[in-house]
């Protein structure tokens, strides 16, 4: 069986907190204790390039010392790369244009060169993988997630130019990765969950968003795919994150696209996931359920350990073995792409100069003059200030800040203005409205240039532009320079008639704006998506035919980037729907169970269970089922742990319980009971109940070797419902069995229970016929003032019959005698219902309770549990267990607290009632209107009532009364307290697939 720390550790793609490596740092611990092989370095890991490279070398050195068979995978993401090149500007890496800027060049060869140069440089500092490029198709409308990190607004552009860049990275020596599957270009950020939300349907994903991934995968250009945490409510389900959904990962990516390489779940440390699942559960679901191979946990060491812990639990005991084996196979193939014998790449100054020249030409080809409706650019009309017909020589610039980049750009503008005899000044704008002084400056300028950055987040910029326009006359001009998207003001001719896009805020891009304005440079960038596609396609073909990169074998690889994707509409898969009339669904069509990790209940850890129960109990299910009832049951774990187990599904990160199941195992009869199950309201229809049920079945059939599994249990008695609910359940179950039509207004509670029976396979069993009706029982109650001695018309005759049979009634502390008798009856097949089959277990538990009470008597405590036996000639012919509400045995009947009139009142219960007496004529002795068995029953009952009355207890419950027998007890003053069902379903162990 494949499951150990060495293998489980491979499933984690980890980040680290430290800037320097030590033998006690996070990475060392993860490698040493868990054999984690893949790490991502982020901005906070950087101090200097020397420190950064030393950190990488130390990581690899420790891996070598640990005798790993291959080097570590050390990756960075696009954010870190942008930080290294744009912010700290290390000389070892060249700053290149953004992806959208590269597309604006329309130069597929140059894009390939940029990708290759980037790969070579990263490899030279020790990085062997980069999370990128993104193959997301950008939206012209919604750009708050991807923006200029996309190669285009249609599949053709993303495939062609993104593929060229990816191919360049591969040629540069990097392991390739693409994101963010299934394509999140049109997503928006959910401000509460901090996770992207994509509203596309499944067919839209397949026919549009996923096309770049499909094409790149078809031609083997990618080594791994990053699956996003994006929410896709219209594609699969309301709360479905892509990386946790099998329809997206296993269905679309694995099966539809035949991708059998590494799939990585994007960093699961997002609020939406740790609130809904917890880091550990999310990791388990992503791999065991959705079939990702790895999960990223990049920031928190405790979360990384939690993910590893829950992955280990998920794959324990042979669970999901085929999934784990395939994941490890793909990971090993991925790790095998690097070797200890790989040559170290050195980049000299000559190569770096070539790369910087490449970057300069790429920037120049990318700058786009989006709109020039007034023919304002270039400003050759105004070479002489005296020719300025606007009566002003002032140019006013607005910048979002005055950092080094904008300071240099403003300086260039001033320098250019000086040559033309025009003065210039700058204002740093904020979210505040313009002052009167700023308005005067605007009115006194003949041209205003506004630099807009991060337009998606800074929506107030639109208000600034409107305010500037309000201050301008028809003879004045506004130029907007976007360091972001070219689409924000694309169709608004009156608001922004002159619009320049640089696709980024780097100095290398922005410094070209003054040259463009003054006519020293001509913009040649093309807005992505706004060119004749056929003409462009032929143009690229012509370029490639003369390209040095399309010779020999390289040509066949490169040409695939020119193939247009086929768009095939795929029908939306209908969601799993369960209706009453549909009958039982075929097991082949049922949804796969989500791989929630199920754990044994820990009273100290899982205190939140009480809050879950309080908020989730159906209000009209029964007044006896409430939080107080469950609060008293947790003592089971201490006193009766051998046969009582509670399992929970929990969010380990927030320490919240999402569901629980109580199981009882009778090792004597080899019968297991699903006693009670509850799922938090907010987690229903999310696989929690299925996971709990599956775990309970596996525990009882495999771990405890039960041969029969029952739904429902009377010891302890949790599953109690009002009579109308029971009637409805029985009626509907009969319909499911016979398919006979019925007309019944079914209660919401009944529908939930029926849905449970159907979805978990309890509505069809080999032994279902009449089972529920046979198991229907009554719990009766007696107030002593209503007590009537048996055979009230002739009590003397009743007592005489007892004397004639020589019956003696004994109060005993020993439950062993009752255990032995009921065990013999069980083995002889004399018990005809499932409640009586629990009697040996019941007497065994009573023995433990009495032993504990006897120890407490010495400390002054009262007795609360005892047995009463009826004997004839020294042989036990009947017996029962008597307990009070102070007895630990009352924990098995937690609703007993609600029977009391006050908190101080003590009431009692009579349970485990058995008769062990036979006569040759079948107990028909002709003793009045009752037979011998009834005589013994009433005799034991009378003894119990009188003993309890002598103890000051005047209220008593009587368990396990068949509806046919209730008149016998009604004559004595008992009344029906509630109806219940001892068993709702029965299946043999071999009927379950676990």
Q: What is the pLDDT of residues 105-145, one digit of tens each?
A: 999 999 999 999 999 999 999 999 999 899 999 887 766 67
Mean pLDDT of 977-990: 84
Token digits for 664?
A: 């009882």
Mean pLDDT of 99-107: 95
Task: pLDDT band for 605, please (50, 70, 90 cuts).
Answer: confident
- Checking if the pLDDT of 509 tops 90, the result is yes
Least confident of 228-237, 339-348, 750-759: 750-759
- Checking if the pLDDT of 587 tops 70, the result is no
- Checking if the pLDDT of 626 tops 90, the result is no
Contacts of 22 (CB under 8 A, 6+ apart): 28
pLDDT digits (tens, 9 = 90+) for 845-891: 899 899 989 988 878 788 899 999 999 989 999 999 999 999 988 88
CATH 3.40.190.10 fits 367-383+390-529, yes or no: no
Q: Where are the domains of the chain?
A: 5-349, 367-383+390-529, 601-760, 783-954
- Does 601-760 match 5-349 at the fold level? no
Task: pLDDT band for 750, please (50, 70, 90 cuts).
Answer: low
CATH 3.40.630 fits 783-954, yes or no: yes
Mean pLDDT of 427-437: 85
The Cβ of residue 165 has, within 10 Å, a number of other Cβ atoms equal to: 27
Task: pLDDT band for 390, please (50, 70, 90 cuts).
Answer: very low
Query: What pLDDT, on a 0 to 100 scale, did the predictor assign at position 817?
Result: 94
Select the highest-mean-pLDDT range: 261-275, 440-454, 719-733, 743-757: 261-275
pLDDT digits (tens, 9 = 90+) for 552-578: 444 444 554 544 433 333 232 333 233
Query: What pLDDT, on a 0 to 100 scale, did the predictor assign at position 770?
Result: 58
Q: Which fold has domain 5-349?
A: TIM Barrel (3.20.20)
CA dihedral for 466, 471, 475, 481, sign (positive or negative): negative
Query: What pLDDT, on a 0 to 100 scale, did the predictor assign at position 187?
Result: 82
Q: Give the C-alpha separation, 86 to 724, whole Å.
A: 71
Query: What pLDDT, on a 0 to 100 scale, did the predictor assign at position 347?
Result: 87
CA dihedral for 338, 342, 344, 350, sign (positive or negative): negative
Mean pLDDT of 882-911: 86
- Measured N-to-C along each axis, helices 723-738 and 748-759 cross at an angle, to the nearest 10 degrees, of 40
Q: Give the C-alpha separation, 894 to 888, whole Å.
A: 10
Q: How many CA atoms lie within 13 A of 36 on its CB side?
A: 28
- Checking if the pLDDT of 293 tops 60, the result is yes
3.20.20.70, 3.30.70.20, 2.60.120.650, 3.40.630.30: which CATH number matches 601-760? 3.40.630.30
- Checking if the pLDDT of 62 tops 90, the result is yes
- Checking if the pLDDT of 655 tops 60, the result is yes
Q: Give the C-alpha separation, 541 to 545, whole Å.
A: 6
CA dihedral for 453, 455, 456, 458, sign (positive or negative): positive
- Checking if the pLDDT of 461 tops 50, the result is yes
Query: What pLDDT, on a 0 to 100 scale, did the predictor assign at position 6?
Result: 82
CA distances, 32 to each of 29, 63, 326, 501, 617 (Å)? 5, 9, 24, 50, 46
Are 505 and 452 contacting, i.e. CB atoms less than 8 angstroms apart? no
Token digits for 431?
A: 């979210």
Q: Give the C-alpha separation, 143 to 487, whole Å.
A: 10
- Measured N-to-C along each axis, helices 211-218 and 163-171 cross at an angle, to the nearest 10 degrees, of 40
Mean pLDDT of 67-89: 93
Q: Give the C-alpha separation, 465 to 488, whole Å.
A: 12
Report the chain's C-alpha Rg in angstroms. 39
Question: Which one has a higher pLDDT value, 554 or 981?
Answer: 981
Least confident of 124-138, 273-287, 482-496, 735-749: 735-749
Q: Give the C-alpha separation, 579 to 755, whole Å.
A: 8
Mean pLDDT of 151-179: 93
Query: What pLDDT, on a 0 to 100 scale, did the predictor assign at position 462?
Result: 85
Are 660 and 694 contacting, i.e. CB atoms less than 8 angstroms apart? no
Query: What pLDDT, on a 0 to 100 scale, did the predictor assign at position 742?
Result: 53
- Checking if the pLDDT of 8 tops 80, the result is yes
Torsion of CA 963, 966, 968, 971, to 10 degrees: -150
Mean pLDDT of 373-395: 65
- Mean pLDDT of the residues in the chain: 82
Are 181 and 226 contacting, i.e. CB atoms less than 8 angstroms apart? yes
Mean pLDDT of 654-672: 89
Burial class (CB in 10 A: 0-12, 13-18, 19+), 467: middle
- Checking if the pLDDT of 324 tops 60, the result is yes
pLDDT digits (tens, 9 = 90+) for 786-821: 998 876 666 667 777 788 788 899 999 989 999 999
User: What DSSP element (H or E) covers 812?
Assistant: strand 807-812
Query: What pLDDT, on a 0 to 100 scale, did the predictor assign at position 49?
Result: 94
- Checking if the pLDDT of 763 tops 70, the result is no
Question: Which one has a higher pLDDT value, 342 or 975?
Answer: 975
Q: Give the C-alpha separation, 40 to 59, whole Å.
A: 11
Query: What pLDDT, on a 0 to 100 scale, did the predictor assign at position 386?
Result: 44
Mean pLDDT of 598-602: 89
Select the highest-mean-pLDDT range: 93-97, 515-519, 599-603, 937-941: 93-97
Task: pLDDT band for 212, please (50, 70, 90 cuts).
Answer: very high
Query: What pLDDT, on a 0 to 100 scale, did the predictor assign at position 771?
Result: 64
Query: What pLDDT, on a 0 to 100 scale, did the predictor assign at position 446?
Result: 84
Task: pLDDT band for 27, please (50, 70, 90 cuts).
Answer: very high
CA distances, 1 to each of 240, 320, 324, 576, 705 (Å)? 31, 11, 10, 33, 21
Are 10 and 331 contacting, i.e. CB atoms less than 8 angstroms apart? yes
Query: What pLDDT, on a 0 to 100 scale, did the predictor assign at position 536?
Result: 45
Are 113 and 358 contacting, i.e. CB atoms less than 8 angstroms apart? yes
Mean pLDDT of 906-920: 87
Query: What pLDDT, on a 0 to 100 scale, did the predictor assign at position 325?
Result: 93
Are 982 and 835 contacting, i.e. CB atoms less than 8 angstroms apart? yes
- Checking if the pLDDT of 628 tops 60, the result is no
Query: What pLDDT, on a 0 to 100 scale, did the predictor assign at position 974?
Result: 93
DSSP three-state, residue 437: helix
Query: What pLDDT, on a 0 to 100 scale, did the predictor assign at position 903?
Result: 79
């Amino acid at each position: 069986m494949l499951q150990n720390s060495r293998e489980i550790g491979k499933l984690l793609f980890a980040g680290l907190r430290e800037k320097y490596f030590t033998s006690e740092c996070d990475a060392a611990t993860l490698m040493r204790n868990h054999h984690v092989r893949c790490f991502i370095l982020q901005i906070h890991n950087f101090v200097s390039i020397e420190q950064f490279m030393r950190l990488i070398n130390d990581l690899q050195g420790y891996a070598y010392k640990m005798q790993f068979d291959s080097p570590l995978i050390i990756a960075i993401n696009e954010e870190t790369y942008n930080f290294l090149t744009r912010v700290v500007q290390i000389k070892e890496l060249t700053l290149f244009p953004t992806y959208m800027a590269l597309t604006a060049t329309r130069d597929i060869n140059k894009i390939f060169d940029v990708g290759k140069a980037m790969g070579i440089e990263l490899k030279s500092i020790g990085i062997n993988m980069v999370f990128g490029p993104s193959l997301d198709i950008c939206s012209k409308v919604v750009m708050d997630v991807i923006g200029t990190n996309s190669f285009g607004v249609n599949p053709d552009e993303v495939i062609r130019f993104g593929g060229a860049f990816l191919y360049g990275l591969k040629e540069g020596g990097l392991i390739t990765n693409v994101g963010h599957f299934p394509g999140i270009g049109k997503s928006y950020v959910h401000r509460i969950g901090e996770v992207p939300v994509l509203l596309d349907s499944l067919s839209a994903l397949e026919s549009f968003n996923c096309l770049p991934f499909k094409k790149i995968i078809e031609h083997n250009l990618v080594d791994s795919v990053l699956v996003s945490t994006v929410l896709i409510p219209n594609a699969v389900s309301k709360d479905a994150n892509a990386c946790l959904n099998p329809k997206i990962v296993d269905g679309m990516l694995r099966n539809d696209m035949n991708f059998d390489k590494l799939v990585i779940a994007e960093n699961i440390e997002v609020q939406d996931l740790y609130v809904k699942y917890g880091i550990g559960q999310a990791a388990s679901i992503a791999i065991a359920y959705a079939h990702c191979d790895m999960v990223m946990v990049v920031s928190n060491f405790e979360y990384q350990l939690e993910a590893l812990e829950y992955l280990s639990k998920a794959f324990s005991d042979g669970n999901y073995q085929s999934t784990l084996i395939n994941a490890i196979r793909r990971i090993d193939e991925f790790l095998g792409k690097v070797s200890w014998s790989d040559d170290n790449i050195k980049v000299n100054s000559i190569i770096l100069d070539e790369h910087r020249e490449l970057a300069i030409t790429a920037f120049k080809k990318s700058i786009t003059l989006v709109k020039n409706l007034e023919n304002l650019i270039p400003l050759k009309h105004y070479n002489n200030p005296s020719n300025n017909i606007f009566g002003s020589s002032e140019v006013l610039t607005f910048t979002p800040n005055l950092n080094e980049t904008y300071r240099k750009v403003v300086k260039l503008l001033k320098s250019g203005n000086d040559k033309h005899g025009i003065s210039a000044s700058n204002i740093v704008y904020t979210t505040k409205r313009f002052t009167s002084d700023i308005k005067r400056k605007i009115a006194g300028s003949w041209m205003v240039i506004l630099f807009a950055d991060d337009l998606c987040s800074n929506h107030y910029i639109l208000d600034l532009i409107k305010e500037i326009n309000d201050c301008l006359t028809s003879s004045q001009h506004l130029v907007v320079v976007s360091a972001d998207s070219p689409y924000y003001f694309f169709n608004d001719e009156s608001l922004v008639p002159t619009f320049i896009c640089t696709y980024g805020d780097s100095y290398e891009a922005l410094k070209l704006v003054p040259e463009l304005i003054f006519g020293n440079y001509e913009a040649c960038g093309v807005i992505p998506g706004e060119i004749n596609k056929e003409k462009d396609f032929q143009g690229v073909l012509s370029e490639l035919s003369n390209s040095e990169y399309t010779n020999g074998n390289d040509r066949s690889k490169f040409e695939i980037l020119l193939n247009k994707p086929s768009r095939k509409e795929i029908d939306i898969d209908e969601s799993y729907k369960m209706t009453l009339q549909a009958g039982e669904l075929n097991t082949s069509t049922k949804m796969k169970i989500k791989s929630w990790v199920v754990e044994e209940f820990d009273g100290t850890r899982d205190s939140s269970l009480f809050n879950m129960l309080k908020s989730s109990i159906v209000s009209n299910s029964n007044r006896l089922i409430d939080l107080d009832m469950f609060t008293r049951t947790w003592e089971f774990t201490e006193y009766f742990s051998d046969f009582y187990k509670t399992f929970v599904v929990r969010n380990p990160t927030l320490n919240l319980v999402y569901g629980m199941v109580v199981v009882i195992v009778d090792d004597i009869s080899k019968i297991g009971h699903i006693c009670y199950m509850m799922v938090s309201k907010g987690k229903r229809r999310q696989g929690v109940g299925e996971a709990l049920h599956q775990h309970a079945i596996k525990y009882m059939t495999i771990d405890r070797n039960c041969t029969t599994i029952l739904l429902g249990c009377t010891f302890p008695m949790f599953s109690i419902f009002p009579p109308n609910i029971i009637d409805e359940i029985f009626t509907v179950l009969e319909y499911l069995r016979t398919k006979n039509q019925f007309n019944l207004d079914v209660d919401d509670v009944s529908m939930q229970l029926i849905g449970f029976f159907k979805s978990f396979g309890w509505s069809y069993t080999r032994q279902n016929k009449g089972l529920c009706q046979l198991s229907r029982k009554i719990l009766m109650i007696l107030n002593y003032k209503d007590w009537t001695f048996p055979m009230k018309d002739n009590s003397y005759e009743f007592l005489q019959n007892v004397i004639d049979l020589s019956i003696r009634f004994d109060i005993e502390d020993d439950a062993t005698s009752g255990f032995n008798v009921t065990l013999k009856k069980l083995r002889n097949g004399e018990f005809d219902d499932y409640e009586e089959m629990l009697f040996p277990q019941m007497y065994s538990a009573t023995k433990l309770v009495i032993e504990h009470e006897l120890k407490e008597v010495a400390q002054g405590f009262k007795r609360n549990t005892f047995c009463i036996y009826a004997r004839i000639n020294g042989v036990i012919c009947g017996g029962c267990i008597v307990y009070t509400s102070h007895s630990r045995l009352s924990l098995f009947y937690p609703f007993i607290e609600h029977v009391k009139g006050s908190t101080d009142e003590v009431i009692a219960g009579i349970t485990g009632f058995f008769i062990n007496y036979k006569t040759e004529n079948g107990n028909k002795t002709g003793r009045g209107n009752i037979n011998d068995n009834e005589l013994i029953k009433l005799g034991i009952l009378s003894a119990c009532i009188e003993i309890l009355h002598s103890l000051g207890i005047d209220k008593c419950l009587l368990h396990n009364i068949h509806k046919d027998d209730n008149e016998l007890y009604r004559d004595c003053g008992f009344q029906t307290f509630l109806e219940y069902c001892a068993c709702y379903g029965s299946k043999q162990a071999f009927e379950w697939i676990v």
